[in-house]
Amino acid sequence: MWYLCVFYHRLLDYRKPEVESLAELFGVFDDYPTDQQHSLEWKLPQYHHPDSPFHFVNLPSEDIARSIANRSILVKGLYELWGEGNSYEELEESIKGYPEERKLPYLNSDSTFRISMDTFGKVMSFTEQNERIRGLSYIPFKGRVNLKNPEHNFWIMETDDYGSNNGLPPVVKKRIFFGREVGAADRKLLPTYELKSRNYLGPTAMDAEVAFLMANQAKATHGKLVYDPFVGTGSILIAAAHYGAMTMGADIDIRVVRDGRGPDCNVWSNFKQYGLPMPISLLRADNNLPPWRPGLFEMFDAIICDPPYGVRAGGRKSGGRKLLKGIVGPYIVPEEKRTNHIPSTGAYSLVECVHDLLDLAAKMLVMDGRLVYFYPVVREDDSSSPSFPEHPCFKLIASCEQILSFRYSRVLLTMVKIKPYTEDIAESARLKHMDFKENHLKWLEEGNLHSAVFSPADSNSSAGDDGKCGKELKPKYRGKYV
Amino acid sequence: MRLLTHNMLSSTIKGVTNGFPLKIEPQKIIERPVEFNPIFLKNMFAKLEWKPLVEASKTMGYFELPEDVSDLSVLESDEFLHKFHHALLEIHLEEGVLVCPETGRKFPVQKGIPNMMLHEDENNLRLQDDVHGASSFPKALDDIKYSKLCNPSGTVVHFYMSIASP
């Protein structure tokens, strides 16, 4: 059945993939052959731009629609559409034409209901809202009104021919929808988990909303094991734990995972703060040299992480600067100093880091398991679509861009494991690992994002076109910024 | 550190061929109740090495796990699952060390966090140290299929090698 799906007008790229991931989690695609692309059917209302918050989605049942809406972060609501039109006259006609047997069960005398008004792209006074709600008197509501806790919620939603002041291309005609709410997102979650009230924070702690989106992309749920190889203060795992998943994390910095800022301000205390089960384990390990036993495969149901891309925080791996350059051999640590010795670390290029992450995920994820991680992209003037890392074991199913600055954005990649890890793949990964070691410096320079993001703007590139900066020619389309 | 983690870790020191299981030398053991989840337990059971788990639980002072689990019907027994649950998830090594079975190198566990980082002279940092590498390089370029690994500015900086399967 088709439902009207209304989104919050933010993180536009993330909206549909979230619904699709949740649909998969709630079993919509269970009967589909596994080798096919799983996706839902979507439609747009007439004249609407793909970035519009109004969409139609085909879902097998109301129960599934409710489950998806209740767990999602970006779905404002899923509605059974009773009518729509470009004017209130058209709306009335449309509602009257909707089958009686679909309407009557929700209108009977022993039920309670509420009608609310929502607008997109315009503000409406209370009087105007009331007028429109009263205008629905042609619908035979028999139940009692209950504004606090009604059984049935009805919504009138109105978009306006608002011009271009909300960042979207103008809609040609205004559209009015009337529907019964099937489910809505629980955004109360976000103030509960917001970073400003969290005890232990690091410089790159993941924002709660995005962390929940990542957990949804990873299909984190009860009984699943989720791993974060760059755990830091645990901000991503907290979202996974909220959905009942077992969590595990590693970090190369022992101060972050072991000590935190004291006995009541560390990764454990962050989980305790929200009454969540503690991670199964936190360990100090190098993603470049993972400590897993040789026979260990297909352990995790999902890996979610925000790898260090060297812009706000750089990655580290084992080996000092001179050691990695090959100027000096490994030092022999004197016996009496071994216990508290802190091994040196060197810079870890993003390319190598992603290589290690893909190899780890290919080996340690169960079949059909998901790897969800952020990947930075330098924003170029031409809008050619960027290319993302590929791996023979994985299929990329979603890429959601979030613009961070004029120069770069980050893209949340969701990859699904479609092929088992083989010896051939392990061998080529090992050779690549050796190449990274041997050509440490080369990789560090080629993969350096910091300079691309922070270096002064190149004045030569825009001088050519009569002093007009090439960037000003770009249409002022703000869709992706919301 | 719980015994589930112990069952996954090994020593990766250069030259060590079998760094699993790490021997536990406990100094402080604590128990914390964890919600019982039979689905998760059955899921994990298939992936674990059973004998090392039994041995590890003994070192931690828990002797209730059966040695022999070749008969998979144990997974239907609630009593077994509760014992398994307790050993796997509720016993924590808060302070202690994990000892590499081959070299005797001690990996400290402090505040429940195992420190698996190797010292400079223990890991395979330089190519020359790797004796197995050279012989297994693929001979002909035809054997190699490429998939790409690109840097963030979108240009492909290198190809990720994968050897074509015959």
Q: Are B132 and B45 in contact (CB under 8 A)?
A: no
Chain B nearest-CA residue for A297 = B47
Q: Tell whether B133 and B102 lie within a shared domain.
A: no
Q: Tell whether B115 and B132 lie within a shared domain.
A: no
Of A284, A323, A389, the CB nearest to B150: A389
B47-98 tens-digit pLDDT: 999 999 999 999 999 999 999 888 888 899 999 999 999 999 999 999 999 9
**Edge-first strand listing for the sheet containing A2-7:** A42-43, A54-58, A2-7, A75-85, A176-183, A152-159, A112-120, A144-145
Of B9, B147, B165, the CB nearest to A390: B147
Interface check A229 vs B, CB under 8 A: no
Q: Which residue out of B1, B10, B162, B163 would a mutagenesis test of the A interface target, given it has the greatest number of A Cβ atoms within 10 Å?
A: B162
Q: Do B43 and A223 touch (CB under 8 A)?
A: yes
Q: Do B150 and A384 touch (CB under 8 A)?
A: no
Residues of chain B above pLDDT 70, percent: 74
Tell me what the mean pLDDT of segment B31-36 comes to. 92
CATH number for the domain spanning B74: value is: 2.20.25.10
Q: Are A413 and A388 in contact (CB under 8 A)?
A: yes
Distance in Å, alpha carbon of A386 to nearest chain B alpha carbon = 5
β A246-251/A281-284 pair status: parallel
Q: Do A319 and B123 touch (CB under 8 A)?
A: yes
d(CA A21, CA A388): 20
Q: Do A293 and B9 touch (CB under 8 A)?
A: yes
Chain B nearest-CA residue for A293 = B10
Which residues of B are less than 8 Å from A291 in CB distance? 9-12, 116
Q: Tell whether B80 and B152 lie within a shared domain.
A: no
pLDDT confidence tier of residue B158, bands split at 50, 70 and 90: very low
Q: Tell whether B107 and B141 lie within a shared domain.
A: no
Q: Do B120 and A350 touch (CB under 8 A)?
A: no
Of B5, B120, B137, the CB nearest to A281: B5
**pLDDT value at B138 more than 60:** no
DSSP summary character for residue B135: G
Q: Tell whether B116 and B138 lie within a shared domain.
A: no
A155-176 tens-digit pLDDT: 999 987 665 555 666 655 688 9
Q: Tell whether B115 and B131 lie within a shared domain.
A: no
Interface check A454 vs B, CB under 8 A: no
A47-104 tens-digit pLDDT: 788 888 999 999 999 999 999 999 999 999 999 999 999 999 999 999 999 999 999 9
Chain B nearest-CA residue for A380 = B153
Residue A176 CA from chain centroid, whole number: 30
Q: Tell whether B48 and B107 lie within a shared domain.
A: yes
Which residues of A are less than 8 Å from B108 in CB distance? 339
d(CA A231, CA A235): 8
Which residues of B are less than 8 Å from A293 in CB distance? 7-10, 19-21, 49
Distance in Å, alpha carbon of B3 to nearest chain A alpha carbon = 10
d(CA A102, CA A5): 19
Q: Tell whether B64 and B39 lie within a shared domain.
A: yes
* Choice among A256-265, B37-46, B128-137 with the minimum mean pLDDT: B128-137
Q: What is the pTM of this model?
A: 0.86
Q: What angle do CA A184, A190, A196 make, to 5 degrees?
A: 170
Tell me what the mean pLDDT of segment B38-42 comes to. 92
Q: Do A390 and B123 touch (CB under 8 A)?
A: no
Domain count, chain B: 2
Stretches in chain A below the pLDDT threshold 70: 34-37, 161-173, 320-331, 381-385, 446-448, 450-452, 454-482
Q: Are A237 and A231 in contact (CB under 8 A)?
A: yes
Q: How far apart are the first and last CA of chain B?
A: 43
Q: Tell whether B102 and B136 lie within a shared domain.
A: no
Interface check A29 vs B, CB under 8 A: no
> Range of B158's domain?
127-163
Q: Tell whether B28 and B102 lie within a shared domain.
A: yes
A93-113: string of b/e by CB count within 10 Å (b at 16+)? ebbeebeeeebeebbeeebeb
Q: In this predicted structure, what is the pLDDT of residue B100?
A: 94
Q: Are B149 and A381 in contact (CB under 8 A)?
A: no
d(CA A392, CA A415): 11
Q: Which residue out of A424, A430, A444, A453 would a mutagenesis test of the B interface target, given it has the greatest number of B Cβ atoms within 10 Å?
A: A424
Q: Tell whether B137 and B62 lie within a shared domain.
A: no
H or E segment at A429?
A: helix A423-438
> Which tokens sit at A7?
């989104």
Cβ within 8 Å of residue B4, ≥6 positions away: A280, A281, B44, B48, B88, B89
d(CA A79, CA A102): 13
Of A324, A341, A378, the CB nearest to B154: A378
Q: Tell whether B110 and B138 lie within a shared domain.
A: no
Distance in Å, alpha carbon of B144 to nearest chain A alpha carbon = 9
